[in-house]
A and B are shown apart, each in its own frame.
Chain A
Amino acid sequence: EAGVAQSPRYKIIEKRQSVAFWCNPISGHATLYWYQQILGQGPKLLIQFQNNGVVDDSQLPKDRFSAERLKGVDSTLKIQPAKLEDSAVYLCASNYHSNQPQHFGDGTRLSIL
């Protein structure tokens, strides 16, 4: 089966600009996750969707980050405006149900100048 697809693979922007990341989960996976991974640390959960509804966004900085999964399939994560501390890899993961192992994409590496 095809894995979790993410794009772009790399993105470089200046601070205060906006950026968006796209994720297409494995077909049929109802649950989708966005993680932020800062260099040298493990991934940190930003938001979890069940179909098109938000299950957990407690660690999403809502003043600048937003995410949507309108049709319950693919998802976008947006940062507006970006700060230097947002430099990280943004990972998307999915599973059939949250009690199953998560499958990860290879992420988008964001660099803020």
Chain B
Amino acid sequence: DAKTTQPTSMDCAEGRAANLPCNHSTISGNEYVYWYRQIHSQGPQYIIHGLKNNETNEMASLIITEDRKSSTLILPHATLRDTAVYYCIVRAYSGGSNYKLTFGKGTLLTVNP
């Protein structure tokens, strides 16, 4: 499975953009990058995913480099409720028509007032 590397922790000021980096240098051509976040005492929450092109939804934007070896999750206007652990995951093919997610330790994003 392709491994990901994320900073252990980051801080961001409320109202500013939060840019969370992720390295996935061993990613294969058909593997997707997924981002989840986990707020304290809750289950992980899906944010966004992408293959090659940049993606945007109501929660965030995902920027994937042209060589696909790294990506950045952008929360355009961070709020205190965005304080959470953010996981960058390369979705792996596990045989048949099945895929699996392997979570690392993620990045603890703390949004400060």
Contact = CB atoms under 8 A, between A and B. Distances in A.
Given A41-B105, A42-B104, A45-B101, A104 B87 contact: no
Contact of A42 (B34, B49, B99, B105): B105
Contacts of A40: 105
A79 B46 CA distance: 28
Interface residues on A, range: 20 to 34
B92 to A, nearest CB: 11
Given A40-B105, A42-B105, A101-B34, A56 B46 contact: no
Nearest to A56: B94
23 contacts: A4-B43, A40-B105, A42-B104, A42-B106, A43-B103, A44-B103, A45-B100, A48-B94, A48-B98, A56-B94, A91-B43, A91-B44, A98-B94, A98-B99, A99-B99, A101-B34, A102-B44, A102-B46, A102-B101, A103-B46, A104-B43, A105-B43, A107-B43
Interface of A: 4, 35, 40-45, 48, 50, 55-56, 91, 93, 97-99, 101-107
